[in-house]
Structure 1
Amino acid sequence: MKTITSRDNPLYKELKLLAASSQARRKAGRTLLDGVHLCQGYLQLRGAPLQCIVSEVALANPEVADIVQRCEEARAHVTALPDALYNAVSQVEHGVGLMFLVDTPAREVAGPLAVSAVLLDNLQDPGNVGSILRSAAAAGITQVYCSAGTAFCWSPKVLRAAMGAHFVLEIYENVDLADLVKNATVAVLATSGYAEQRLYDVDLRRPVAWLLGHEGQGVADDLLALATHQVVIPHLGQIESLNVAACAAVCFFEQLRQNQA
């Protein structure tokens, strides 16, 4: 373990930049995982990080000390920061004082869509994107494809909302969804408040791709036209529609229910 005490240290400057800028995270192909839960999940499912960053006060926390020890045993770099320097980097208020610096996977679409997947068309809200990733992972879906206009999946807010789902998913970003849908070998189901076919009337006992759209505008018209089915989730009351993350969860778990029935 080494200690950094200067704000001019190159590593510290990199951490500050990555914490503050989505553009910097995309350009560097790196991001920060903040908190015990995310760091534990990464260690378990992906292995050692590039850097384990810990605040000096957090070293007295048994959970943090255990993670630091595991990182050292894996020969990962461990760096301690004075609390003031650490808090200037962390995006989590009242956090535990632990973060990982990790590479973000850069995946290229290798072939036609042939398994159950999620397609995100221009979703703007990081919390919604993270919630959808978490629901997808919990429902056994393994692939997520994001259009260029969708929130960056490796941003701190998406990571916190997904609660470790990133580490069991294959996430593809900046994808041409129209091309993906055209060549898919599985049915593509687009959610739409104007659809006539109910979700519960569709046979989901097979791989399907779920196409989910912008929070306000929904799935783009050109993509809707390419979908195999347009489906609606029936609901009661005066609310016009469901939140897209809630809609996604209903879809994923209806598919799971049918496959387990």
Structure 2
Amino acid sequence: MKSITSRDNAFYKELKALATSSQARRKSGLSLLDGVHLCQSWLELRGAPVHCVVSEAALANPEVAAIAAGAEAAGAPASVLPDALFGAISQVEHGVHVVFLVASPVPDKAPGLVESSVLLDGVQDPGNVGSILRSAAASGIRQVYCSPGTAFCWSPKVLRAAMGAHFVLDIFENIELAPLVRSAGIPVLATSGYAAERLYALDLRRPVAWVLGHEGQGVSQELLALATHRVAVPHAGKVESLNVAACAAVCFFEQLRQLQA
């Protein structure tokens, strides 16, 4: 395991840029997975990372030692940093200091809407995007299409919120959603707090595409007009609407409930 002790080390500077700059992550096609759970999930589901990085203190942690050994056994290089240097590349407070540098997966050409999918129309909050990805993966959905205005899915905050869901999903970013909806081979359901159709009245025992919109503005008028159904999740009380991630979870698991019933 290589030891890096200088802030001027070229690889360390690259790590800092990837940790702090979305532009650097997009340009390089690389991402950082921060923490034991994400690194373990990557090893189990994707194999070797590009590089494994740990702090000196974390090497005493049996889980971290096992992750580093697993990465090296899979053919990945590993480096150790002093704790003070590691702190600049981790955004997890009081976390266990292990990071994987990985190539952000780029799926093949988008196949179009032929199986249950999620379309994110300008969902900007990274926590919401990550939660939606996690719910999609847990409910059996495998394809996610993101409009240009949606938060970058491989940012650290989205990765942490999704808790490894990225590794079992095909995520297509910077997709113009309207042409996708026009050519859909399955029903397209756009969520809206003002829709007349109620979620629980729909037959969801078949593939559908869920459209979820911007936290404040909701799904665009263009996509609402193109959708097969405009759907509301019923709720009691005086709250105007559900958080988009909560709405997504209710929709996805109602579909799963019907499929399993």
TM-score norm. by structure 2 comes to 0.99
Partner of 1:221: 221
Residues 120, 213 of structure 2: 8 Å contact kept: yes
Residues 146, 173 of structure 1: 8 Å contact kept: yes
Q: 1:110 to 1:123 in 2, by over 3 A?
A: closer
Partner of 2:73: 73
Partner of 2:10: 10
Partner of 1:191: 191
* Alpha-carbon separation, structure 2, partners of 1:170 and 1:72: 27
One-letter amino acid of the structure 1 residue matched with residue 194 of structure 2? Y
After superposition, residues 1-261 of structure 1 pair within 5 angstroms as 1-107=1-107, 109-261=109-261
CA shift, 1:74, in A, is 1.2
CA shift, 1:73, in A, is 1.0
> What do the CA deviations read for 1:38-71 (whole angstroms, capped 9, x no partner)?
0000000000100000000000000000111111
Q: Percent identity?
A: 72
Q: Could you list the runs of 4 or more consecutive aligned residues of structure 1 that deviate by over 4 angstroms after TM superposition?
A: none
CA shift, 1:91, in A, is 0.9
Task: Structure 2 unaligned segments of length 5 or more: list them.
Answer: none
CA shift, 1:108, in A, is 5.1
CA shift, 1:112, in A, is 2.7
> What do the CA deviations read for 1:76-115 (whole angstroms, capped 9, x no partner)?
1100001100011111111101000001122354433100
Considering only aligned residues, what root-mean-square deviation do their CA atoms show, in Å? 0.8
SS at match of 2:254: helix
How many equivalent residue pairs? Answer: 261
Residues 108, 172 of structure 1: 8 Å contact kept: no
SS at match of 1:89: coil
* Alpha-carbon separation, structure 2, partners of 1:242 and 1:50: 39
* Alpha-carbon separation, structure 2, partners of 1:193 and 1:201: 15
One-letter amino acid of the structure 2 residue matched with residue 150 of structure 1? T
Moved more, 36-45 or 85-94: 85-94
SS at match of 1:49: coil
Residues 110, 172 of structure 2: 8 Å contact kept: no
Residues 142, 169 of structure 2: 8 Å contact kept: yes
SS at match of 1:53: strand
One-letter amino acid of the structure 1 residue matched with residue 233 of structure 2? I
SS at match of 2:145: strand
SS at match of 2:93: coil
* Alpha-carbon separation, structure 1, partners of 2:195 and 2:88: 48
TM-score norm. by structure 1 comes to 0.99
CA shift, 1:9, in A, is 0.8
* Alpha-carbon separation, structure 2, partners of 1:20 and 1:86: 13
* Alpha-carbon separation, structure 1, partners of 2:73 and 2:18: 26
SS at match of 1:145: strand
SS at match of 2:54: strand
Task: Structure 1 unaligned segments of length 5 or more: list them.
Answer: none
One-letter amino acid of the structure 1 residue matched with residue 174 of structure 2? N
